[in-house]
Amino acid sequence: MHTLHKQCFFLFQPIPFSKPKIMSNRMLVLVGLPGSGKSTISNQLVKCKKGWERVNQDDMKSRKACEMYTKKFLDKKQSVVIDRCNFDREQRKTWVDLAVHYKIPVDCIVLTTDQQACGDRIKIRQDHPTGVSGNRGIGILRRFVNTYHPPTAENPEGFSRILYLNPSPNEECTEERIDEILSLLEASPSLVEEYVNNHPPKQKITTDEEGWSTIPTKE
């Protein structure tokens, strides 16, 4: 698997934490294999924290739709959690560019759940919106493993902070767990000082008549 980087912040065991400070609107990009727990965290985050909205491609069906809703939420000064696998730099660049365009911080949480644990979860899934369940889901997981390249502190890709988060022994994601995660993220090292203010996006982001983003991205 991938080398762990000491500049990033890791969660190996429960530690004392205080409730996170109220942050200005921002973007949080989740990175992880199918079955790693991204949706569990993002759903609980928007449920218990005011001002957060969730963008999920399984529900919205396309990245284009995800971009549109992200822009609409940011226009309303909401914080946005991007719940996708975001398995390589090119996939993540879409969200970093949007954050830079809106001049907001963009953080990243990498879920470190391993392939075996992800597979065990996928096997027992039911009614997944895109069919990532059962034997078919295991095949999809294997393909993701072969192309999965999370960000690193040495090459942060424009992320303000990167938190490598190990799975919790408690299967239930509680409000206390969300507070813990946000506190760890807040305490993690700042990787890109003044990135948003000092680095304008290389590509102009425009919107067509239907509200779709026209930021150029590669599939």
Decide if 42 is inside a domain: yes
For residue 4, pLDDT over 50 is answered with no
For 180, the domain range is: 23-115+147-198
138 located within any domain: no
Residue 175 lies in a domain: yes
pLDDT tens profile 44-102:
999 999 999 999 988 898 989 999 999 999 999 999 999 999 999 999 999 999 999 99
Q: Is residue 80 part of a domain?
A: yes
CATH code for position 172: 3.40.50.300
In a domain, 219, yes or no: no
Closest CA to 135 of 118, 120, 121, 123: 123
Is 8 among the domain residues?
Answer: no
Q: Spell out a b/e string for 101-121, using b for 16 or more CB atoms within 10 Å of the CB, else e.
A: bbebbbbbbbbbbebeebbeb
Is 76 part of a structural domain of the chain?
Answer: yes
Q: What confidence tens digit (pLDDT) does each residue in 165-195 have? A: 999 888 889 999 999 999 999 999 998 654 4
Answer whether residue 218 is part of any domain. Answer: no
